[in-house]
Structure 1
Amino acid sequence: MAEVESFKLDHTRVRAPYVRLAGRVLTPRGDVVEKYDLRLAQPNREALPTASLHTLEHLLASLLRDHLDGVIDLSPMGCRTGFYLTVLGPLSPERVLEAWEKALQGVLRAEEVPGASEKECGNYRDHDLEGAKAWARKALEEGLKVQESVYL
């Protein structure tokens, strides 16, 4: 089986909330594609409830694009501790951190969840705006930082 970068990360040594450059690929055309680990919850100590994670996904998918050019995708982590952000780069972790901080501030101002109707979402009943705001507030209060990769 192919190696997966996140399976080599020492999850006991990282400290959430953080931004971490998790990978960089140079395409045959010469484009740089980067994957960032946007971690909200401390691995193996806490996890976001699915409804809060789902709402954050909907909000951050738009808000990150408002503050960062080249966003390809934002995907929730299966462990429910954060998101993977894929971008056309090169960017820097500091630039991504700045955009993520602004996006989380936007979550706090949100009054509704975009794309949360039956026609727009595959699980439209599973949202929690107040829970999403609580996780955004927690991350902002604890202070976002750039985390270096710490491998096993």
Structure 2
Amino acid sequence: MIKVESFELDHTKVKAPYVRKTAILKGDKGDIVEKYDIRLLQPNESELPTSALHTLEHLFAVYFREELEGIIDVSPMGCRTGFYLVKFGESTEEEVKSKLINVLKKVLITEEVPAANPVQCGNFRDHSLFSAKEYAKMILEKFEYSQN
């Protein structure tokens, strides 16, 4: 049976929020691709409502690209506890965490959800900027608390 990295993780032992490098892949031409687990909420204890998750997905798509070079994708986890970030090039977990904190701060001052319209979004009515900001604030507080 094929092993899936995220299925190998003991979700009962991790402590969210965190950033975890889950894979480093090297392409045939030497390209480096990294994948990160951007865990925002504690697995099996809470999850993001779809409207907040969807809004964060739109905001992360823009803001992570402003913060980090080589972003390929930022995708929500099916369990709704975080996101996967995939990028070209090498970074450290601390660098990605620092950029995540910057991204969450940008969420707090956002006034409009990018691409939240029927032309650019397949479910444009399912957004909540208010909820996205509330979760961003909560996650930032947890990061701040964990550093003290």
Match of 1:70 in 2: 70
Name the TM-score, length of structure 2 as normaliser.
0.95
Stretches of structure 1 that go unaligned for 5 or more consecutive residues are: 146-152
C-alpha distance in structure 2 between counterparts of 1:23 and 1:107, whole Å: 27
Show structure 2 runs of 5+ residues with no match: none
- Map of 1:132 onto structure 2: 132
Residue 22 of structure 1 aligns with which residue?
22
Q: What residue is the counterpart of 1:48 in the other structure?
A: 48
After TM superposition, the runs of 4+ consecutive aligned structure 1 residues lying more than 6 A away are none
Structure with a larger share of its residues in helix: 2
RMSD: 1.0
Identity of aligned residues (%): 53
Alignment-mate amino acid for residue 53 of structure 2: L
Match of 1:38 in 2: 38
In the alignment, residue 131 of structure 1 is paired with which amino acid?
S
Deviation of 1:17 after TM superposition, in Å, equals 0.6
Alignment size in residue pairs = 145
Higher relative contact order (CA 8 A, sep 6+): 1
Task: For residue 3 of structure 1, report the CA deviation from its aligned partner.
Answer: 1.3
Separation in 1, partners of 2:139, 2:88: 25
Deviation at 1:89, TM superposition (A): 1.5
Aligned to 1:61: 61
Quote the offset at 1:112 in angstroms. Answer: 0.6
